[in-house]
Chain A
Amino acid sequence: QVQLQESGPGLVKPSGTLSLTCVLSGGSFSTRVWWSWVRQPPGKGLEWIGEIYYSGTTRYNPSLKSRVSMSLDGSKNLFSLRLNSVNAADTGMYYCARGPTLSTFEFDSWGQGTQVTVSS
């Protein structure tokens, strides 16, 4: 059973860089699925940030594309998120997820989430 666990600083200063890591256990990076980051501002809905394939190919939400990058390390079973030039609007819960799958585009496993606050 796939399990995902996010980690990273809970507090980031404005204009700084948010860096998070998601460790995968109980599975491996697959050729039939992407790996994504999804965030949720306080009291608001879900927003897809972007995804990375096992090959390293990435796709990002156009609204964040200029500030985001993702990487994957298969040898360590983890993938990472970097978001530059953060501001208060980037505050929220950040989830890593398995998906979207190539057949049904679903996110079938989620991490528990990690809270990130942007504040000086």
Chain B
Amino acid sequence: QSVLTQPPSASGTPGQRVTISCSGSSSNIGSYIVNWYQQVPGTAPKLLINSYDQRPSGVPDRFSGSKSDTSASLAISGLQSEDEADYYCAAWDDSMEGVVFGGGTRLTV
């Protein structure tokens, strides 16, 4: 059981906009920035975006991140086949004094 809650799956067709949610509590998302990671099966996770909507260089602006109270969202617009991957949210947690992850959402395009 993950501390952060994500839907196990999401899907969309090319060109569509998809949103993935991440729900937490005041000890994590409510107090700290949320980071999103993309993991293509068989590869290491990659930092994608955070809840301040900041992206590492090379990440397309089709990806956007936001947060409200104890929930965060990742939105992907103009969906492409290469976006098919697992997506994880993560945040610092005061109760655990460590980083907690969501259970992951598998996106099918």
The count of chain B contact residues (Cβ–Cβ below 8 Å) is 27
Chain A, 88-120, CB within 8 A of any chain B CB:
95, 100, 104-108, 110-113
Chain B residue at minimum C-beta to C-beta distance from A107: B47
Complex-state Cα separation, A94 to B78, whole angstroms: 33
C-alpha gap A106/B4 in the complex (Å): 16
CB–CB B96/A46 < 8 A:
no
Which residues of A lie under 8 Å from residue B104 when comparing CB positions?
A: 45-46
What residue of chain A has the Cβ atom nearest to residue B4's Cβ? A45
The distance from the CB of A61 to the nearest CB of chain B, in whole angstroms, is: 5
B97 touching A104, Cβ below 8 Å: no
> Complex formed: what's the CA distance from A104 to B52 in Å?
9
A50 to B56, CA, bound (A): 24
A106 to B101, CA, bound (A): 12
Interface size on A, residues (CB 8 A): 23
The docked-state distance in angstroms from the alpha carbon of A105 to that of B35 is 8
List chain B residues, Cβ under 8 A from A105: 32-33, 35, 90-92, 99
- On chain B, the residues within 8 Å of A104 by CB distance are 33, 35, 50, 52, 54
1/0 per residue, CB under 8 A from A, across B80-93: the answer is 00000000101110
Q: How far is the CA of A105 from the CA of B104 in the complex (A)?
A: 18
Q: A59-B97, A105-B92 are in contact. Are A45 and B102 (CB under 8 A)?
A: yes
Q: Which residues from chain B sit less than 8 Å from chain A, CB to CB?
A: 2, 32-33, 35, 37, 43-47, 50, 52, 54, 56, 88, 90-92, 96-104
